[in-house]
Amino acid sequence: MEVSLSIMYLPVSYENLIKVMEEIGEELKETLMSTYALKFLSIRLGMLLIAEAKHTADREKRQLLSSEAKGFFEIGFEHDVLASCMYSLTYYYQTRNYSTIKKFLNELFGRRLAIRYEGTPGLIDCGNRSLISPDMYEGVSEKDIVNENDIAFDAVFSCSDMLCVPPAMQLECALLDGHSNWCFCSIHPLVYATYMQFQIAFNLGDIDERNMSIDHLLKMIKYIEGGESRGLVDYHRHYNILGYCYFIINDLKNALKWFEKSLKICPTSGNAAVYQLCILISNITTIR
């Protein structure tokens, strides 16, 4: 995964990533390192093609780009057991295939099994949750591991993904300039999945599902923290996502609470909570 992350620092273009794929194939051959790197590169290519499709006015070309992106996501699907699924969900979100996402998430959250969580190797550790279960079962243990090779990493996004990701992630990606801020951001795959559940319910106007999903997201964030609310800087994006969800359902009190909590553990201008708070305050002022 460390090799894969180095890809996030490369100049972003389809041609560059294809060239890197060729070089990795030649230099590393059929090694485990090569396998992981090539699968992650496929995911990155898929994300680039989704962004290009969003920019394309020609319907036929847009459909062609989306189809090609789907193929790259399928190649990268086995990069890990969770995050690779989140990139595919991002594709389905952009193509508005909400039924496929809902089916996947219903199956995911109904599962009780232990998955080894590795965070973002070299940057973000797993904290108190080296073993995670999609149903948030606290008693999960090594005996619940179905496949010893199943590993979950964080979902990683860059500035170029701004047009691909759902709304709560767009400002997070927009601020990734690589100079005064991070080059990429990492989101726990189960937090991303739970947020996606909320966003789809919101888009479809399903108020009951929306309210259930935001409660689920709150519980998932607390579960990922290990129930201790340790306030690690790595969690501030989770708080921003939750704050955004409260904001768009007009629960401004809770939105303010989570944006402030985010800034408390990550008090920098690169934190999207700064701008989310400005939007929130502007919204309150306009209403009054």
pLDDT in tens, 31-75: 767 777 888 889 999 999 999 998 889 999 999 999 999 999 998
Domain 98-287: CATH superfamily is: Tetratricopeptide repeat domain (1.25.40.10)
172 band by pLDDT with thresholds 50, 70 and 90:
very high
Quick check: 1 pLDDT over 60? no
Mean pLDDT for 13-35 is: 76
Structure tokens at 251: 């629960």
Q: How far is CA 234 from the centre of its chain?
A: 13
Structure tokens at 179: 């100079």
Q: What percentage of the chain reaches a pLDDT higher than 70?
A: 87
Mean pLDDT for 269-284 is: 90
Alpha carbon distance 112, 45 (integer Å)? 32
Are 74 and 94 in contact by the 8 Å Cβ rule? The answer is no
Residue 257: C-alpha distances to residues 65, 143, 181, 194, 262 (Å): 41, 38, 24, 20, 9
Angle at 173 between CA 172 and CA 178, to 5 degrees: 110
* Residues forming CATH 1.25.40.10 domain(s) in the chain: 98-287
Q: What pTM was estimated for this model as a whole? A: 0.90
**How many CB atoms within 10 Å of residue 147?**
11
133 band by pLDDT with thresholds 50, 70 and 90:
very high
pLDDT value of residue 229? 46
Backbone angles phi, psi at 141, to 5 degrees: -145, 180
128 band by pLDDT with thresholds 50, 70 and 90:
low
Burial of residue 20, with CB atoms counted within 10 A of its CB: 0-12 exposed, 13-18 middle, 19 or more buried:
middle
